[in-house]
Chains A and B, each alone.
Chain A
Amino acid sequence: MLELKNISFEAEDGKQILKNISLKIDNRFVAVTGPNGGGKSTLAKIIVGIYKPTSGSILLDGKDITDCSITERANMGMSYAFQQPVRFKGLRVRDLLKMASGNNASLDDCCEMLSEVGLCAREYVDRELNDSLSGGEMKRIEIAMVLARKTVINVFDEPEAGIDLWSFQNLIRVFEKMYAETKGSILIISHQERILDIADKIIYLKDGVVEQYGAKNEVLPNLLNGTSGFCPALTNNNK
């Protein structure tokens, strides 16, 4: 179980991004949603150790991990799929999968990892993670790396953003399968109703404050009815 106690985060320019957030994440699948600039990505980065909170503490299964580094948290079983996957000149898809899975990543292993996200290993393992890959390809490889780690806490920052050519339904299936076949928890930042719809619980974060946190069945109708700042006209239009 992941617990955040009184977490605040102030940016370098003095702006208060997160304001005294306390949360217990004890369900298998929790979605974080809310308007842009509300602090969702900051929250994810604080959980995986990229940012240190200005105040407050983070507990993993009761252990205070606030001062643990990114590496230490990764080795405790945390994974993080970046919103904007990082590109590397020279490093290949196979190299990253090898680091992620901790094994030698044979073509068969890579095939298993990449086919989950709809990519053919034969075509991709030797590709460099440079500008030659599209944003959508990078995004899928990013998700594959998290799947390959088989960790207890899996944080995804807007996995749906930039997913191209590959149907959105497949992405949903990836998370459903992960939920069904692994024991880990999934924490996913998303604006997509269909992703929110498969979560156990939803956190609605706005202006650095948790406005709502509860079971999907309670929170999602409020969001779709526009009572929490979601624009009803847009929501209806998108239906």
Chain B
Amino acid sequence: MDTLQMHLLKEVAELDALPVGAYNIRANGESAARNTTANIDIVTKTDKPGIDIIIKPGTKNESVHIPVVLSQTGLKESVYNDFYIGEDSDVVIIAGCGIHNCGGVDSEHDGIHSFHVGKNAKVKYIEKHYGEGEGRGKRLMNPTTEVFLEEGATMEMEATQISGIDDTLRKTTASLDKDASLVIHEKVLTDGEQSAVSDFSADLNGEGSSCNIVSRTVAKGNSKQHFISVLNGNAACAGHSECDSIIMDNANVLASPQLSASCTDAGLIHEAAIGKIAGEQLMKLMTLGLTEAEAEEQIVNGFLR
């Protein structure tokens, strides 16, 4: 990998060198490095681009890194990564995509990830998107995440897209069996002419299942955001979705939370709030000696932490 790709890798996966544990690094549409462990196997798909990641039952305290970097302008790819996480395992999965586009043609990465999480397994999934480059070509990402949680399985997902992606459609679907739990934290910042759509849908099918979706976003410039969350309570379950947005300049934010219950014991809640930075928050930080611009930066950085 070249210096530019190493830089992108650092932005999306905080990696300076090859990670410990299992990994698959994809650079400009090709596998650049791979490592498997006794418990985690990575197999290249034969029918379409992508990999299968197979984690043995009972695998504990291991991690998988699957970052993607694109520095070749005009490259468009769809990649299918399927995770099979064995029963009772406890793993961390770090994905992410960085695009550097300095050319005049659009670059696009569409990652389609599926997670089949076995009984009582625990997964932490961290995904970070980053774009840069001065070219006129757009940087586009459309991640699709499909989550299947078996009985007692838990997944915590952190998705971050702080800058540089022109257009994104994030689609996340989940189905939860008995006592399964899904927590999603999403952080998005858009600026300029960017547009971001987050579309979540979770089917809470099992008794005792729970889902909590928390989205914090900041929309600046002329950017547009649309947050959609659909929670379907099909059993005695608990569902909560929260969309909290700071709107600045001429941006536009649309929040469409939707709840559907087909069981009297389904407890579903949604909260959505869109507003500018509160004047008293700016004032408080200004009484500590910060300028208005510095105060704004601190508030936004804290909000998206």
Contacts and interface: CB of A to CB of B under 8 A. Distances in A.
A95 B298 contact: yes
**Max chain B CB contacts within 10 Å: which of A75, A89, A149?**
A89
Contacts of B280: 82, 86
Contact of A145 (B288, B292, B299): B288
Given A71-B291, A71-B292, A99-B290, A90 B285 contact: no
Nearest to B280: A86
A23 interface: no
A174 interface: no
A75 B285 CA distance: 12
Contacts of B285: 99
Contacts of B281: 86, 88
B284 A71 contact: no
A71 B290 CA distance: 6
Given A86-B280, A90-B304, A90-B305, A99 B299 contact: no
B302 A75 contact: no
Is chain B's interface secondary structure helix, strand, loop, or mixed overall?
Answer: helix
Q: Which has the most chain A C-beta neighbours within 10 Å: B289, B290, B305? A: B289
Contact of A90 (B278, B286, B303): B303
A149 B284 CA distance: 13
A86 B292 contact: no
Contact of A88 (B286, B288, B292, B302): B302
Given A91-B299, A95-B298, A100-B288, A70 B283 contact: yes
Contact of B302 (A71, A79, A91): A91
A79 B303 contact: no
A95 B286 CA distance: 14
B289 A90 contact: no
A7 interface: no
Contacts of B298: 91, 95, 99
Contacts of B287: 48, 50, 70, 74, 78-80
Contacts of B292: 71
Interface in A67-89: 69-71, 74-75, 78-80, 82, 85-86, 88-89
Interface in A135-150: 145, 149
Interface in B228-249: 244
B84 to A, nearest CB: 35
A14 interface: no
A102 interface: yes
B189 to A, nearest CB: 13
- Chain B interface size band reads 20 to 34
Contacts of A82: 280, 284
Nearest to B278: A86
B302 A149 contact: no
A149 B301 CA distance: 23
Contacts of B286: 69-71, 74
Given A89-B244, A90-B303, A91-B302, A102 B278 contact: no
Contact of B303 (A75, A80, A89, A102): A89
A182 B303 CA distance: 35
A75 B291 CA distance: 10
A127 to B, nearest CB: 13
A170 to B, nearest CB: 24
A78 B289 CA distance: 9
A149 B288 CA distance: 8
A177 to B, nearest CB: 21
Given A88-B281, A89-B244, A99 B288 contact: yes
A74 B302 contact: no
Contacts of A91: 298-299, 302-303
Q: Which of A82, A91, A149 has the most CB of B within 10 A?
A: A91
B269 to A, nearest CB: 16
Contacts of A96: 288
A102 B290 CA distance: 10
Contacts of A89: 216, 244, 302-303
A89 to B, nearest CB: 6
A100 B291 CA distance: 13
A203 B305 CA distance: 44
Contacts of A86: 278, 280-281, 283-284
A1 to B, nearest CB: 21
Given A82-B284, A89-B244, A75 B289 contact: yes
Contacts of B299: 88, 90-91
9 contacts: A71-B290, A71-B291, A82-B280, A82-B284, A88-B302, A90-B303, A99-B288, A145-B288, A149-B289
Given A88-B281, A91-B298, 6 more contacts: A86-B283, A88-B299, A89-B244, A89-B303, A90-B305, A96-B288
